[in-house]
Every structure is written in C-alpha cells, then in structure tokens.
C-alpha cells in the first residue's frame, strides 16, 4: 500500500502544481491516523492527476469522484472507520471541488480538530505547450482563409464561413479542421482558451484571426496574402516619399 502511495504522489508532483495545507491541532501531533489520512489523500490526488492526463488536462467532475467513479486500483480507506473514503464532511472522508473550466481543484479531508487540503492546477508548462499548438493552428486557419480568397476573387471569407462546417472548412483542399488543444473539439470562434476571434476590415478587406492564449494575450494572423502584401507595399511607398 505504501509503495502505491509513493507512486501516486510522484505522479501528482510531475503532472500538476500541488499545494498541501494542513491545519494542525493537538490531534495531528499524537494520532497516527492523521498521517495515514494525509497519505491516502495524496493517493486520491494521484488518481485525479492520472484522470487529467488521460482527458486533455481536464479534472473529473464532482459527481465522478467516488470509489468506482474514477480509475483507482487501490481506493483509500478512512483511517477511522476502515471503510472506503467517500465524499462528505465526516472525519476521514473528503470533499472535492473543481473549477468551472475543470483545470484546477481543491481536495479536503477532516480529522478531529483540523483538516488537510490539497490544491492542484494545470501546470504552467502545459499551458505553454497548448498555447504553442494554438498558435500553430492559427497559422493553419490563416492558410485556409487565404485559400478561400484565391478562389473567390481575392475576397476574404465572411465570419459565418470561417468554420469547420461552413464554406472555409468544406472547401476543396481542406481535409481536416484543427481541434482546440484544451477541449479537443473543432476550433471555433470565441474568446475561450484555444478559440479564435475572426473579423474582416471593411476598408481594406483584410481578415484577422486572433487566437486566445491560456496564459493571457493573443496572437493575430492576417490575410489574404494578396491584400496584406498590397497594404505592405503601399505603406513602404508612403514612407519613402
């Protein structure tokens, strides 16, 4: 049991930003069951991280976290009752709360006179990785928009055409539409992580694809190439006068 706990703790530390908080009491210094509760809460934390690794960084919902709800080879036992730990506020059991985006959570267990809390979230390195992928996807969407313009007299696609199930996504030469690295669904217009905002300038006819990053900020891709090139040449000619 202790070997499995160590493995789960290593998994949690490797996959997430982990913070453990303990509210001490006289009990915590004298009752070995408190230390066992701490170990078993870390085991449960390891199962949550394993779930996130297999589900595109998303932690399980509150309704899923119970024995049999998420994968766990050895489910931790309540040190006071000997029965499997279950959701609730009783001594030796746990409460689990997950953020609306399911990218962070809080796990708490109680003992007489105190509590232990684990807070975990998707690590910064994973955000960097997915933001990099979002940027690459934005460049691919720019190419798709340019492809459309070359076939439509140089005109940028309208906003309602820039989608996987509309004109740009269904045109010849587009056999695959990229997926949002956070949701694993077709990338679409919106302001969420990995989504994009699309607009066309009324004066120049240049389109902008603005990709939204998880770490804050955006990256913009413009097209079609014929119009951005013309605008660049016009700007250079003006500055040389």
Could you tell me the residue ranges of all domains in the chain?
2-121, 125-236
Edge-to-edge, what's the strand order for the sheet holding 196-200?
A: 196-200, 207-212, 218-223
Three-state SS for 77?
strand
pLDDT value at position 26? 46
- How far apart CA 220 and CA 55 sit, in angstroms, is 29
**Structure tokens that stand for 229 in this block:** 């090139």
Q: What SS3 class is residue 130?
A: helix
DSSP string, 186-222: B--BSSSTT-EEEEE-TTT--EEEEEEPTTS-EEEEE
Rounded CA gap, 153 and 150, in Å? 6
**Which pLDDT does position 241 carry in this prediction?**
53
| HEC assignment per residue over 114-125 | EEEEEEEECCHH
Question: Residue 132: which residues within 8 A CB-CB, separation 6 or more?
Answer: none
Number of residues written out for the chain: 241
Q: Which positions of the chain have pLDDT values less than 70?
A: 1-29, 229-241
Task: Return the pLDDT at 123.
Answer: 77
Q: What pLDDT was estimated at residue 221? A: 95
Q: In terms of Cα–Cα distance, which of 161, 128, 160, 162 is closest to 142? A: 162
Query: Which pLDDT value is given to residue 62?
Result: 97
Q: Which helix (H) or strand (E) holds 20?
A: strand 17-23
Report the distance separating Cα 46 and Cα 110, nearest Å. Answer: 19
Helix (H, G, I), strand (E, B) or coil at 105: strand
């Amino acid at each position: 049991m202790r070997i499995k706990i160590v493995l789960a703790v290593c998994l949690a530390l490797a996959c997430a930003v982990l913070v453990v908080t303990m509210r001490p009491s006289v009990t915590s210094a004298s009752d070995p069951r408190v230390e066992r509760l701490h170990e078993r809460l870390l085991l449960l934390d390891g199962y949550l991280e394993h779930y996130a690794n297999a589900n595109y960084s998303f932690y399980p919902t509150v309704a899923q976290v119970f024995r049999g709800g998420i994968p766990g080879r050895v489910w931790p036992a309540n040190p006071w009752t000997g029965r499997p730990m279950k959701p609730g506020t009783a001594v030796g059991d746990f409460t689990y709360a997950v953020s609306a985006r399911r990218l962070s959570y809080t796990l708490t267990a109680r003992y007489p006179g105190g509590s232990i809390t684990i807070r975990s979230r998707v690590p910064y390195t994973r955000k960097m990785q997915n933001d990099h992928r979002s940027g690459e996807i934005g460049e691919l969407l720019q190419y798709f928009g340019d492809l459309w313009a070359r076939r439509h007299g140089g005109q940028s696609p309208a906003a309602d055409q820039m989608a996987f199930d509309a004109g740009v996504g269904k045109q010849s030469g587009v056999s695959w539409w990229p997926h949002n690295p956070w949701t694993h669904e077709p990338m679409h217009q919106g302001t969420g992580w990995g989504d994009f905002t699309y607009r066309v300038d009324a004066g120049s006819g240049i389109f902008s694809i603005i990709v939204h990053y998880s770490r804050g900020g955006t990256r913009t891709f413009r097209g079609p190439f014929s119009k951005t090139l013309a605008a660049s040449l016009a700007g250079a000619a003006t500055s040389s006068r």
